[in-house]
Structure 1
Amino acid sequence: MSLFRRRSRSGSQDGGAAPVVPAPSGPPPVLDDLCGDAELLLMRDQAVAGDWAALREGLAAITDQTELTWVLIALAEVAGVEEWTSRAVAEEPDSALPLLLSGARQVAWAWEARTRQSAKHVSQDQWKAFRSRLATAEEQLFEVAEREPEWLAPWYFLQHSGRGASLDQEVCRYRFEAALRRRPGHLASHQARLQQLCAKWGGSHEAMHAFAQASMRAQPEGSPFGELVALAHLERWVDLDGGDAGRAYLTRPEVLAELREAAERSVLHPDFQRRRGWQATYNSFAMALSLAGERATAHRLFQALDGTATTFPWRYLSGTPVDQFGKHRDLCAQ
């Protein structure tokens, strides 16, 4: 469900890391896409074990649609969920909850089959699995949306399946707007829309940046929506294949100004609240600011993270996300 890593013409993206490895500036980094959330960790373990009875109880207790969607995003990445959700759906034909989890997993499972390779490196069998799983996801998610018209989650995941299926831009826009009608301030849906507007998915750089800026400014200062601006610039950097062209882009005065403003309106603003998953937003800004040479500001974010690395966006760089996080953190501490 995420975008493809690209390599520079020299074979990797090092983000301009110094040739001399700096001394460690904090605890050993740990990859934690659950951001230390104990409740979510428990649910993930239940999903791994296929304990639907326990997992269902936890999911049913979540009344906030934004929170439920956030949990489902994490559970959809758990390998093997597709093996037992079909049984759960069959055993509870009148319940939309197992169908929703199944549809969410089918989307993530589809992208796993597709891999992050460029299209020319995806085999016919991989394409077949990708399309088949997306078709299953679409069918299940639309059924959930029909049964539970107030639910946000099906429309969030339908944005990702729609992008994978290369649906018309107007159809994809409708799905985004359907999500916003249920939760106008849903950051994850805005992030999905940002990806849809990337040039590589049929959008344009101009549309992507305009959307990021407009979305940020529509929210009060202190909201996490400034992350969209940072992500848009990272996507532009990826499109330039990193390297010298990417560094030249991120260090343009106007790009630096936008990154600074976005950080000041969000993660550096006194009204910013560290709600569930805040570490993901910090990681996005830390990477963007480090690549742009704004090391002092990035250092503040790395300190707050205390070694917590997330897979995205560090996987855009060659090597492991943990290694890249540690490399940039230590570089920014110098």
Structure 2
Amino acid sequence: MARLLPLIVIAVWIFFWFRSKKRAAARPDRAAEVKAAPATGLSKEAAALGLLPEGAQNTERSMPDPELDSLRASVAQGAWEPAAHFLAVTGRDWERRSAAIIGLADAAAEEDAWLTAWETARPGDPDAAAVRAKSTVFLAWRLRGSHAAKHTGREQFEGFHRVLRRSRDDIARAAELNPEDPSPYITEIWTGLGLGYPHEQMHELWAQITARAPFHYEAHYSALQYWCAKWRGSEELARDFAERAAAGAPAGSLLPALRLVALYEHQEYPLRVRQYRTPEARAMVDAVLADLPAVPPTHPRLAEVRHLVAFFLVQQQRYAEALEQFRRVDGHAGAEPWSRFGDTAELYCRFRERAVQGAS
């Protein structure tokens, strides 16, 4: 009997091994399903939820904006009057004003004949001046390109710095024409980032902005980029800036999301999971989720924050909460972190599918 015991043990092991393989084959392979989802379009679960396939994702925008689309269509035809009217009636809605200026300035950086016509027809128009200042900065950054400094040529840098220096005159003029508007000063953050403003000069610029709009999300996001290690600061300075902004912010400002931005910006491998599952990171996400219900649904940066929160929630395996965010932004994937890594729509859909399968 003792001689047979090893054979009996081997036979039992083989029996259970075959049975486990048979059960595994009968179970759906969730990992394979998630990996295959982008290539096949949509999983059955995603389709049942009404989610859109990869090819239907707008990778230029984080949200639909029919108003801005209409304005850009008008200026593309040379008609500047709708843009002038829109900015004139926007009033002190600084967030919406900044978003419109950014969208119009982006168009002007490609072709500015319509903006020149506006300036000619209405000399001294502060709204045209604000668009001009931002478009000059956009033009400078386009001359530089999006590559790291070591992959950027000398001529690119020379053109970049030359146009950025010129932008300071445009910014000063826009600020003089409309002293209450924070937009020109927010534009100057990107001039200062490119020209290397010292910290003290950025503090002075920041005081001008917060005196006019103390909880402006676009302004805070832009300043946070300056304080990041990849530009003019460090991880410690960036996270300190984000923490102070979030701690003193009123409900509905979106500013708690700055903590997530600062954390994400300082990861050597941004898609790695571990750094997003700490108790500190979970508390950061909870703070943003608590803030979202108070954010006006028309806030121009709301969708961007939802995209970032969805990414964090998937990494934290909080799939049902992530799916809720994906359902609110689906159809527009042009936001961080998806837009940073090659195929924007593919990465967005891959993370979305993880939320769909995890929630189900």
- The aligned residue for residue 4 of structure 1 is none
Asked if the contact 2:239–2:259 (Cα under 8 Å) also holds between the matched residues in 1, the reply is yes
Question: Which residue is equivalent to 2:115?
Answer: 85
Q: Which residue of 2 aligns with 1:68?
A: 97
CA change 1:18–1:215 in 2 (3 A) is farther
| 8 Å contact from structure 1 (residues 223, 265) kept in 2 | no
Which of 339, 344, 347 matches 1:321? 344
Alignment-derived partner of residue 254 in structure 1: 280
* SS of equivalent residue, structure 2 residue 340: coil
Deviation at 1:121, TM superposition (A): 0.7
**Count of aligned residue pairs for this structure pair:** 311
In structure 2, do the counterparts of structure 1 residues 54 and 303 end up closer, same or farther at CA, with 3 Å as the change threshold? closer
- Distance (whole Å) between structure 2 residues aligned to residue 223 and residue 93 of structure 1: 35
State which of 52, 55, 72 in structure 2 corresponds to 1:27: 52
- Residues 1:273 and 2:296 aligned together: yes
| Matches of 1:83 and 1:287, distance apart in 2 | 40
Q: Does 1:286 align with 2:314?
A: no
2:236 to 206, 209, 218: 206
Question: Quick one: distance in 2 between partners of 1:217 and 1:60?
Answer: 33
TM alignment of 1:22-61, pairs within 5 A: 22=37, 23-24=42-43, 25=46, 26-28=51-53, 29-31=57-59, 33=61, 35-61=63-89
Partner amino acid, structure 1, of 2:98: T
Return the offset for 1:223: 3.4
**Unpaired segments of 5 or more residues in structure 2?**
1-30
Shift of 1:83: 4.6
Give the match for residue 7 of structure 1: none
Q: How much does 1:72 deviate?
A: 0.6
- The residue number in structure 1 matching 2:24 is none
CA shift in 2, pair 1:219/1:123, >3 Å: same
How far the C-alpha of 1:315 sits from its partner, in A, is 1.8
CA separation of 1:131 and 1:85: change in aligned 2, threshold 3 A: farther
The amino acid that maps onto 1:187 is Y
| 1:98 alignment partner AA | A
Q: Distance in 1 between the 2:32 and 2:136 partners?
A: 37
Deviations 1:263-313 (A, max 9, x none): 33322xx43432232212211212233344443322110012233222333
2:265 matches 1:241: no
Report the Cα offset of residue 158 of structure 1: 0.7
Q: Secondary structure at the match of 1:128?
A: helix
SS in 1 for 2:90: coil
Measure the CA separation in 1 of the matches of 2:164 and 2:82. 27
CA drift of 1:321 comes to 2.0
Instruction: Name the structure where helix makes up a greater proportion of residues.
Output: 2
Name which structure has the greater RCO, CA cutoff 8 Å, separation 6+: 1
The correspondence for 2:332, drawn from 303, 308, 322, is 308
Greater shift in the superposed pair: 247-256 or 95-104: 247-256
Q: Deviations over 1:121-145 (max 9, x none)?
A: 1112211221122122211011111
Percentage of pairs with the same residue: 23
Alignment partner of 2:180: what SS?
coil
SS of residue paired to 1:231: helix
Q: Distance in 2 between matches of 1:121 and 1:285?
A: 32
**1:70-100 deviations in whole A, cap 9, x for unaligned?**
2112222225244543454344333232222
CA distance in 1, matches of 2:295, 2:89: 27
* Contact 1:155/1:175 (8 A) holds in 2: yes
TM normalised by structure 2 equals 0.79
**Which residues in structure 2 correspond to 1:124-139 (within 5 Å)?**
124-139=154-169
- With over 3 angstroms needed to count, the CA separation of the structure-2 counterparts of 1:48 and 1:132, relative to structure 1, is farther
For 1:122, which of 152, 158, 171 is the aligned residue? 152
Would the alpha carbon gap of residues 34 and 40 (structure 1) be closer, same or farther in structure 2, given more than 3 Å must change? farther
Unaligned runs of 5+ in 1: 1-15
Partners of 1:47 and 1:81 within 8 A in 2: no
Equivalent position of 2:180 in the other structure: 150
Q: 2 CA distance for matches of 1:197 and 1:146?
A: 27
CA–CA distance in structure 2, aligned partners of residues 100 and 49 of structure 1: 21
Cα pair distance change 1:165/1:255, threshold 3 Å = same
1:169 aligns with 2:199: yes
